[in-house]
Amino acid sequence: MVVSRASGTSGGGGYPSPNHGPRKDGLLPSLVVLHFTDMPSAAEARARLCDPEAAVSAHWLIAEDGTTEQLVDEARRAWHAGAGEWRGQSDINSRSIGIELANPGNRPYPEPQMAALEGLLRAIMSRWDIPPEGVIAHSDMAPGRKVDPGARFDWRRLALQGLSVWPEVGTGAEQGDPAAFLSHARAFGYPEAAPAKILHSFRLRFRPWGQGEVGAEDAGLAEGLARRYGSS
């Protein structure tokens, strides 16, 4: 159930969180950043995201049962991403729409919640002309600082519906050169960070079962992503 929908206005929109401001330099959303709330319940997360003293927010909150509420007008700059970069661009808050999924960080994402997310993503991507590669994890843009939405989130499910991206398979690129992993990960979009942090963030999204040093499979997946979606 959607409690409130995007207004498409440039003002506050009457939504419950006071934690927002204007997008800087006339920027419009080109990214969607997915988060988990890391709190026991959606109600507690909502209270924090609407608390002026907390100074955090997101545009949307999706509860475990699929209940979806808009907290900040999409035209406004919500305070969800924090420090980080993607594809060489900073101030992700001004460039993105933030979606919080109620999850303490250690549970699977329930079917009603995933279905609600899929519907919401379709609407947001259509409204703002955001391509599938523009749907990213909080951990993608802030390696080493953030881990959400975590290893239990089903990115491939989204990609199969054109709501995100997944490395191509069956192209011979599954096994790559580990020495080239970092350059390919950065070409896909990951920021400058310690190699171990990049590998951890990459695996959270694309290979959560991976362990140890970067391997040929990590490198092959990164190469496939860089070739198809790379910024350089």
In the block, which residue shows the tokens 């909502």?
46
Q: Where are the beta strands (DSSP E) in the chain?
A: 20-21, 31-36, 60-62, 68-70, 77-78, 96-101, 135-137
Cα 153 to Cα 107: distance, rounded to the nearest angstrom: 9
Please say if 217 is a catalytic residue: no
> In terms of residues, how long is the chain?
232
> Cα(33)–Cα(99) distance, rounded to whole angstroms?
6
The continuous run of DSSP H or E covering 228 comes out as helix 216-229
* Catalytic hit among 100, 133, 174, 213: 100
SS3 135: strand
The whole-angstrom separation of Cα 223 and Cα 230 is 9
Strand bridging mode 60-62 / 68-70: antiparallel
The catalytic site residues sit at 100
